[in-house]
Amino acid sequence: MANLIYMGTRDKSIQATASQAILRGICPDGGLYIPEVIPTMEKSLEELSKLSYQDLAYEVLSLFLDFTEDELRACINGAYDEKFDTTEIAPVVQKGDALFLELFHGRTLAFKDMALSILPYFMKTAAKREGIDKEIVILTATSGDTGKAALEGFAGVEGTKIIVFFPEDGVSPVQKLQMTTQEGENTCVVGILGNFDDAQSAVKSIFTDENLGEELKKRGYVFSSANSINIGRLVPQIVYYFHAYLSAVKQGALKMGEELNFTVPTGNFGDILAGWYAMKLGLPVGHFVCASNDNKVLYDFFRTGTYDRNRQFHVTVSPSMDILISSNLERLLCHMVGQDATKADMAKLSQEGKYTVEVTETKINGEYATEKETYDTIKNFFEKTGYVMDTHTAVAYAAYQKYKEESKDDRPMVIVSTASPYKFTKDVMMALDEKYATQDAFALMSVLEKISGVSIPEPIQGIEKRPILHKNVCDRDKIKDFVKGYLL
């Protein structure tokens, strides 16, 4: 059981245990919880290499959580089981000149399963530890993958309700159907007439609305989040960086103790931040490449030190990265400059839409890929290797090529593959051949199955025939009103 204390990114006097931070989701002032001290992994890499994914998860998560061993192992065993279609949970495969960490073998075919499979167990354990007897309402904004993974995790979980907001016209057909066909009496899905940033900003404002919070508390509700603003969503992602490293060693890609690079496609910055935490725990990482699509606000930040969301928002073929407000960057910022400066920078971001800092050595480099480069990468890599990657993984691989050319860094590279190509079948097939542009996305799944040699994943077989259970749509400015109307 860790005695780690969590503190706010904007005020270090805001403190919480792990259980309290998980239940709250966000600090009262809108900041995020970070560990007061980043722990160190005491077990050697050699010791860790002998462990299953579940046991490795225990060694990492026990450093961050205040659960007993029995509580934590119950959470882990409940999460990482037959819900994943491989006992490896997150296989590492070598294709071409890179290693691919496949994080899409869970029920929703995306990397969000790695954390959202365990978060409901964290919530229930934390609530029991804190003596919370109110119903927990999970509010979540999604750019495509978090929503379904959260719905899958919390559906039917006693003592919870979950409300998911997604951009009505900003997700793939498969992503949309995964959410709108979700079963479970405690689930609610809402399409918004806006983008992910609109949804996320509204959800964060609800968490800091004291009057609404008090009103809901009287009705027996307490809010929490399944977004990566919740530290309980972030820390499980640290595990798969250790797993990827140890898998790479076992496959002979590098020797134990040598440095490994990672390229991570990211919009909200949580996935790559988890890798940065893994490095701080002691994982031998050479460099991270933060890969962006045309919404390259993070690329510009790591190049110039200026974070500026005052720009055109692009709807792209990698929709889970269509984000201009990368919430988790606030955590890295706080580790770099401290609470006072972070608070001032977040105020500037809110008021002016930008801030500037001196980017200290973080071992993170920004790269990006255009739509054309994304398509070309899918096509060219398939022709060379027979491996089909999704649009987000393609952004990462294209960014890796640019980084390698610019830096001449020849250390082994892991591409963090965040989604199955089946979630974005139409765009993947169009990348392979323009003749598929006029064909139905769901009919193309059988074509993708034939050329890739990978069966259509069971969770989405026949998804286009399932009944639509959630038909809610609301304006971006009416999200808070919807929540009040739904709960009160």
Q: Which string of DSSP letters, residue by residue, matches 174-210?
A: HHHHHHHT---TTEEEEEEES-HHHHHHHHHHHHT-H
Instruction: Please write the tens of the pLDDT for every residue from 220-271.
Output: 999 999 988 999 999 999 999 999 999 999 999 999 999 999 999 998 999 9
User: Rounded to 10 degrees, what is the CA torsion of 305, 306, 311, 315?
Assistant: 30
Q: What is the pLDDT of residues 35-65, one digit of tens each?
A: 999 999 999 999 999 999 999 999 999 999 9
Burial of 280 (0-12, 13-18, 19+ CB in 10 A): middle
CA distance 266 to 228: 12
Indicate the angle between helix axes 391-407 and 425-432, nearest 10 degrees: 50
pTM: 0.94
Cα gap 393→264, rounded to integer Å: 8
Q: What is the CA radius of gyration of the chain?
A: 21
Phi and psi torsions of 84, nearest 5° = -95, 140
Q: Which residue has the tokens 């919530």?
A: 123
Architecture of the domain made up of 92-107+234-456: 3-Layer(aba) Sandwich (3.40)
Decide if 59 contacts 51 (C-beta within 8 A): yes
**Beta carbons of 113 and 149 less than 8 angstroms apart:** yes
The alpha carbon of residue 249 and the mean position of all alpha carbons in its chain are separated, in whole angstroms, by 25
What's the confidence (pLDDT) of residue 1? 65
Structure tokens at 203: 């959800």
Supply the pLDDT for residue 362: 81
**174/404 Cα distance (integer angstroms):** 33
From residue 302, give the alpha-carbon distance in Å to each of 344, 359, 399.
19, 7, 14
Torsion angle of the four alpha carbons 469, 475, 480, 481, in this order, in degrees rounded to the nearest 10: -80
Domain segments of the chain as ranges: 92-107+234-456
* Cα–Cα dist 247/283, whole Å: 13
Tokens of 43: 């077990």
Helix (H, G, I), strand (E, B) or coil at 298: helix
DSSP string, 308-370: E--S-----SSGGG--S--TTHHHHHHHHH-HHHHHHHHHHHHHHSEEE------SEEEEE--
76 token code pair: 């882990």
* Phi and psi torsions of 286, nearest 5°: -80, -55
Give the chain's residues under pLDDT 50: none
Q: Which two tokens stand for residue 2?
A: 């860790």
In sequence order, the 6+-apart residues with CB closer than 8 A to the CB of 452 are 386, 388, 421
Q: What is the pLDDT of residue 450?
A: 97
Identify which of 302, 323, 253 has the alpha carbon closest to the alpha carbon of residue 100. Answer: 253
